[in-house]
Every structure is written in C-alpha cells, then in structure tokens.
Amino acid sequence: MRQFSRRRFIQSVAAMSSLAVTPARGKVSGRVVVVGAGLSGLNAALHLEHLGCEVTVLEARDRVGGRVYTLDHVAGHPEGGGNIFGGSYGRVLHTAQQLGVALRKPPRGLPSDFHVRGQIIKASEWPDASANQLPADWRELLPSRLQGRLQASNPLMATRNWLDPALNAVDQSAFDGMRALGFPEEAIRLIGVNNSYGNRMADTSLLSLYRVRAEFARLTGSQLSFTEAALGNQRLPEAMAAALKGPLRLSTPVRRVSQDQHRISLVLDNGESIEADALVMTAPLPALSKIEWAMPAERRRLMESVEYHKVLQAHLVVEAPYWEKRGQGGSWWTDGQLGRIFVRPIPGTERYNLTVWINGDECDALDAMPKADCQAEIMKQLYALVPDAKGAVSVGDVVRWSTDPYAGGVWSLWRPGQAAEAHAALRTPLGRAYFAGEHTAISYRGMEGAMESGERAALEVARMLS
Amino acid sequence: MTGQIMLKALITAATVLTLGPISSVADELSGEALYGLACAACHNPGVQVDHRVGPPLGKLNQRKAGSVEGYEYSAALSASTIRWNQAELTGWILDSDQRVPGSRMVYNNQLTINEIQRLANWLLAEQAK
C-alpha cells in the first residue's frame, strides 16, 4: 500500500515536472559559526564558504579531526579513530583527491587465531574444537562470521529504511531478535562479546545490525576495496582545515548557546561572546549535552537518552613476529576482556602495529582506572594470552573514547526502536541552529556519514541565508 | 487554479516524503549550487569517468541510463530502459532506490521538489556545454 502510493506519487511528480521552473540565482551570504572541526563541521564549513558565507570554526580540542585521530607519536602512525575509507565513501574519497591527500591500500592484517572458553584455537581447527559449543549446522562458522547469518532475514532494501517508523515499531533487542530467529544461545553470546553496534546485546538494536549488513551487502566491484590516507587519516581533516579561508580556532570550547529572532550567540569557555546568523553544531551528543542551551525538554531528554559505543584501544609496536615460532597468525579474536587484537605490518619496516580493541561494557572497569593502571592491566592480560609478546612489544598509547569529554564514545547507538523518533528529532534545526555529525547521517555511518551530515547542514543553512 | 492547488499539494507531499526541513524562505539556491551540495562529491559534470564513485553527468539529456563507457553500473540500472530527461531525473533524485530497485547509488534526498527541478534543469542544460 505504502509502496504503491509512493510510486503513484513519483509518477505524478514526473508527469508534472515538464512545467518550467525558472532557475533562480542563488546568492548566499551571512556569518556562520561551525562548532566542531571534525569531518562534518569541516565539510559544512567548506561548502558554506564556497557558497559565499563568512565562516568561523570553533574546535574544543587542540587538534582538528574529532574522532578521526591518527597517533602520529606512535611508530606506523596507527589510527585511534576512524580507520578505513570504504569504497563507496564518495565524499571522503573525492575530498581527499581534491585536496591532494594521498591514499593507499591498507597493509594486509595478519590472520587471526581464536581464544574461546580459555582455549587457543586456530581458525582451521574451530569446527572441531571442544570450546566450539555451537550446534552442528553452525559449527563451521567462525565466531567473527556468525552475525552474517542475519542477512537472510534482512528487511532493509533501501538506504533510508533503517529510519522507517514501521520497522522501528517492531525492532527489538539483538538478544531477543536473534533468539526469535533461531540463533543458538552460544552464537548470540559469541556475537555479543565483540559487538560493535551496541554496548550489550540486551539493548543493541536488531535493526542497527541489519543496517550494517545491508550496507555491506550492497557493495559491489570496486566498492569492495578499502583505502586509508597513506600518512594517516587525520591528514584529511587537516587538509580540509587548511583549505578554509576563514578562521579555525583550536582549544576553544563553547560554554553556552542562546538565540533570538535575529542572531545566535555563543559564549566560549574563556568568556568571549560570538554572534552569527547561523550555527552548525556538530558536537557528539554526550559533548553537546554539556553545553548550556535552553532546548525544549523533550529534545534534551532524547539527546541524553542516546548511548554512545564504548571503545578502548591499546596501540602497541611489535619489534619481532613472536607468533611465528608457535605457528600462530598474530591477530586474535577472544571472548575475554581483551576483545580483538589486530596486527598489521608497518610498511617499509620489519615492525608491526598491534591494536588491542576492547568494546562495549567490557571497557567499564578499564575506563574507571587511571590510564597507567589501565595500560598495565591490558599488558598483564596480553602477556597471559601471549607470553612470547613479553620483550617483543612496546606500548605506544592507550585511547579511551568513552571518557573523552568531547566524544563520549565512538559513535551513536540507537536503542531498539529508538532510531526513527530520536534521529529525526535530533537533527531538526532549532531556530538558527543546524545540526550535523555522524549521529545525524542517514545514508552512511562513520566518516562518510559525518561528511554527508555536513553537506546536509550546509544545504539547510544555505537555504536560510539565500 | 486546479493546477496550482495540485502543485501545492505535491510540494507539501514531497517535503514530508523527503523528511526535509520546511523552510519559510523561498528556495533560491541555483541549480549549480544544488549540484555542488548534493551531487558533486560523487559525479563530475563532464563526460569522463574519474576517481568519483558515481558516473559523470555531462551530456545527460536523453542519455540512456547506465551507459557511460568505463563506469561499473549495477545490473539493475544497466538493464533499465530509462533515458534521462526532466521527469526521469526528478523521480530518480527523489528516490533512486524506489525508481530502480537494486541500483547502487546510496543517496538520501534532502532537496525539495522545487530544488530537484532546478537541479535537473541545470544538469540537463549542462549537456550543451
């Protein structure tokens, strides 16, 4: 019924579109403040400058990039934030090309062994391992592949359908949903331990998992090849920042936002006031909720109800491939607190980058510790799993996104059924304030979602200022 | 009169459908500005395939969909019988997933119906250049 009326509507629009529409001359002018020098804010700023606006970008951190964060102080400059450019990331790839940011195919990650229920298992041994407690028709699937079985029941056919109110109305937790689909308890447990789209399976949205699967299923041909910036992904936001004509102020957190009919006003942490015709606010919701702002109560409630994904990474540099003498691959997938361990060579050297990637509620205890203790605990656990790593690795840095005051996590998570309502509400302009950031994107997640949202916010501001 | 009422209804419906914000200001962004905001990252305005993830949009008027040499289209778009004109472009920009299921353009329209028409006019006129 819905589909039918939509098609009818498109046909009628198509029929009427022969009516000539006089092209108007768009002239956009005005002062715009963009809060946040991540990809969304920088993309919005570049578009608005191009259209003729006078743009000032304010960034709370002492660097640009936001959740794109290359650890330049660690050998191999590993990515602490956004780490891979998808083949369909049109805005990211084009912007990199335009600004001369060199891209490369990422060095191939080393194969993974498994540490499940206390046993070390090679991928080839998994189907027959005693720690593999999956039923017969599931045993062949590696723990990292189990979620793929969701694709058979995926209801998402089009880009924006994850926001469909009807699908959100029947959305449920990944835990309940997978049970209803006949997933074995052990499969649900294994999917849950390294789940990137929720902090726990009990309130991970099944629709969110379908969204990710639908995105992958749609990629074909050249879109299946991924890239990264050769010298670190942060070179992309840096190049974007360098291309701006107007000022970009680092270490400039915003304390308060207010507005009347004629202007929007910001008070900075240093007490300074700035006025503009429009604001593009790109702060992630946990950071945004700390800014003093008289928002409608319902909007604030929604904003504060959105959880962000917890990720903690320890970035190590490996001097020698200690895994070889035991015939191990180097990388690990574990059902313990260490989560996943990714190892890849540093091109042009004999060394490797090793990233311990812990996510979800498993981060809590480590997030609560002082950084040095957190690092010591991770190393203790790593050496327990791989004693040979002792003496062969050095710690580069530990990155904790949940405790980062300007992030609050790596990306927004929508609880079961929450997306349709909360997403639409949180990206709706408030007077002269427009909202961007990955949490407001529709077609993409991650870095391309951030770029998409900046483009959309620029369109909204341009309409108002034209 | 009837035509005007119908157009008004269509514009309202389009605004709701596209989930676009309802602007109190008349749409004034030019087709070229809209191309920059909605298309340019993925489609160049010329005729040669470049680094961008979508096909070029030059010489678009009456071009058969899925026909640019060297661009890797979805099977669905290659098989379609669409020839690009105002009506087809409008339907496509409004909802490409609906227009050609299985096509690979990942795009969520944010433009109003007026903006789409202005953009389509500009894109089709570009073929003269």
* Domain CATH number, residue A76: 3.50.50.60
Interface of A with B in 194-253 (CB under 8 A): 218, 220-223
CB A416 within 8 A of CB A162: no
The structure tokens 């109110």 sit at A165
Chain-chain contact of A462 with B113 (C-beta, under 8 angstroms): no
CB A223 within 8 A of CB B52: no
Q: Quote the CA–CA distance of A21 and A323 in Å, as a whole number.
A: 67
- Assigned domain for A172 exists: yes
pLDDT at residue number A130 = 98
Among candidates A13, A93, A463 on the partner chain, residue whose Cβ is nearest the Cβ of B94: A13
* Whether residue B90 has pLDDT greater than 60: yes
Domain ranges of chain B: 2-20+29-128
pLDDT at residue number A266 = 98
Helix (H, G, I), strand (E, B) or coil at B64: strand
Q: Which chain A residues touch B94 with a CB distance below 8 Å? A: 10, 13
| Same domain as A245, residue A296 | yes
Q: With an 8 Å Cβ cutoff, is A466 touching chain B?
A: yes
Chain-chain contact of B106 with A89 (C-beta, under 8 angstroms): no
- Assigned domain for A277 exists: yes
Q: Which chain B residues touch A47 with a CB distance below 8 Å? A: 36-37
The DSSP secondary-structure symbol of B47 reads S
pLDDT at residue number A26 = 56
Q: pTM (2 decimals)? A: 0.91
Q: Quote the CA–CA distance of A51 and A148 in Å, as a whole number.
A: 44
Q: Which chain B residues touch A95 with a CB distance below 8 Å? A: 41
Tokens of residue A374, six digits: 């957190």
Chain-chain contact of B117 with A17 (C-beta, under 8 angstroms): yes
Among candidates B10, B104, B120 on the partner chain, residue whose Cβ is nearest the Cβ of A16: B10
Tokens of residue B22, six digits: 């309802």
| Same domain as A190, residue A230 | no
What SS3 string covers chain A? Answer: CHHHHHHHHHHHHHHHCCCCCCCCCCCCCCEEEEECCCHHHHHHHHHHHHHCCEEEEECCCCCCCCCCCECCCCCCCCECCCCCECCCCHHHHHHHHHCCCCEECCCCCCCEEEEECCEEECHHHHHHCCCCCCCHHHCCCCHHHHHHHHHHHCCCCCHHHHHCHHHHHCCCEHHHHHHHCCCCHHHHHHHHHCCCCCCCHHHCEHHHHHHHHHHHHHCCHHHHCCEEECCCCCHHHHHHHHHCCCCEECCCCEEEEEECCCCEEEEECCCCEEEECEEEECCCHHHHCCCEECCCHHHHHHHHHCEECCEEEEEEEECCCCCHHHCCCCEEEECCCCCEEEEEECCCCCCEEEEEEEEHHHHHHHHHCCHHHHHHHHHHHHHHHCHHHCCCEEEEEEEECCCCCCCCCCCEECCCCCHHHHHHHHCCCECCEEECCHHHCCCCCHHHHHHHHHHHHHHHHHHHHC
Distance from CA of B99 to the nearest CA of A (A): 8
pLDDT at residue number A2 = 42
Distance from CA of A10 to the nearest CA of B (A): 6
A202: domain range? 142-224
| Same domain as A287, residue A330 | no
Sheet holding A340-345, edge to edge: A119-121, A112-116, A331-334, A340-345, A352-359, A311-318, A393-400
Phi, psi of A259, rounded to the nearest 5 degrees: -155, 155
Domain boundary among A343, A365, A400: A400
The architecture of the domain spanning B2-20+29-128 is Orthogonal Bundle (1.10)
pLDDT at residue number A27 = 77
Angle at A460 between CA B19 and CA A265, to 5 degrees: 125
pLDDT at residue number B128 = 53
Interface test with B, best of A17, A50, A261, A432 (most B CBs within 10 A): A17
Q: Which of B116, B114, B65, B109 is nearest to A158 (CA)?
A: B109
Interface of A with B in 6-45 (CB under 8 A): 6-7, 9-21, 23-28
Is the ipTM above a cut-off of 0.95?
no
Q: Which chain B residues touch A51 with a CB distance below 8 Å? A: 33, 36
Stated as kind and residue range, the H or E segment containing B89 is helix B86-94
| Same domain as A332, residue A281 | no
Chain-chain contact of B111 with A459 (C-beta, under 8 angstroms): yes
pLDDT at residue number A176 = 98
Q: Which chain B residues touch A88 with a CB distance below 8 Å? A: 53, 104, 106
Q: Which of A243, A18, A66, A49 is nearest to B37 (CA)?
A: A49
- Assigned domain for A129 exists: yes
* Whether residue B10 has pLDDT greater than 80: no
A278-281/A31-35 β-pairing: parallel
The DSSP secondary-structure symbol of B86 reads H
Q: Quote the CA–CA distance of A342 and A344 in Å, as a whole number.
A: 7
* Whether residue B1 has pLDDT greater than 80: no
Q: Quote the CA–CA distance of A78 and B46 in Å, as a whole number.
A: 37
Alpha carbon distances (Å) from A247 to A51, A189, B1: 17, 50, 51
Chain-chain contact of B53 with A88 (C-beta, under 8 angstroms): yes
CB A56 within 8 A of CB A249: yes
| Same domain as A80, residue A115 | no
Domain boundary among A203, A224, A245: A224
Nearest chain A residue to B108 by CA distance is: A443
A31-35/A54-58 β-pairing: parallel
Nearest chain B residue to A225 by CA distance is: B53
Q: Which of A148, A139, A153, A150 is nearest to A186 (CA)?
A: A139
| Amino acid sitting at position A392 | A
- Assigned domain for A95 exists: yes
The DSSP secondary-structure symbol of B82 reads -
Q: Burial of A258 by CB count in 10 Å (0-12 exposed, 13-18 middle, 19+ buried)?
A: middle
Chain-chain contact of A442 with B13 (C-beta, under 8 angstroms): no
Q: Which chain B residues touch A23 with a CB distance below 8 Å? A: 30-31, 118, 121-122
Domain boundary among A374, A400, A426: A400
Tokens of residue B85, six digits: 């004109």
* Whether residue B4 has pLDDT greater than 70: no
Q: Quote the CA–CA distance of A449 and A451 in Å, as a whole number.
A: 5
| Same domain as A234, residue A155 | no
- Assigned domain for A67 exists: yes
Among candidates A23, A26, A94 on the partner chain, residue whose Cβ is nearest the Cβ of B52: A94
Residue ranges of chain A whose pLDDT lies below 70: 1-26
pLDDT at residue number A273 = 98
Which residues have CB under 8 Å from B106's CB, separation 6+? A88, A159, A218, A443, A444
- Assigned domain for A61 exists: yes
Interface test with A, best of B108, B113, B122 (most A CBs within 10 A): B108
Widest distance between CA atoms in chain B? 48
Among candidates B30, B87, B99 on the partner chain, residue whose Cβ is nearest the Cβ of A26: B30
- Assigned domain for A1 exists: no
Q: Which chain B residues touch A91 with a CB distance below 8 Å? A: 41-42
- Assigned domain for A388 exists: yes
CB A412 within 8 A of CB A422: no
Q: Which chain B residues touch A9 with a CB distance below 8 Å? A: 10, 13, 17
Split into its structural domains, chain A has a count of 3
Chain-chain contact of B7 with A19 (C-beta, under 8 angstroms): yes
| Amino acid sitting at position A252 | T
Q: Quote the CA–CA distance of A427 and A408 in Å, as a whole number.
A: 18
Indicate the pLDDT class of residue B126, thresholds 50, 70 and 90. confident
Interface of A with B in 56-95 (CB under 8 A): 87-91, 93-95
CB A291 within 8 A of CB A282: no
Interface of A with B in 138-177 (CB under 8 A): 157-160
Chain-chain contact of A17 with B120 (C-beta, under 8 angstroms): yes
Q: Which of A181, A236, A334, A306 is nearest to A40 (CA)?
A: A236
Q: Which chain B residues touch A3 with a CB distance below 8 Å? A: 98
Which residues have CB under 8 Å from A207's CB, separation 6+? A156, A162, A167, A168, A171, A414, A416, A417, A419
Interface test with A, best of B15, B25, B29, B118 (most A CBs within 10 A): B29
Report, as an integer, the average pLDDT of B86-107: 95
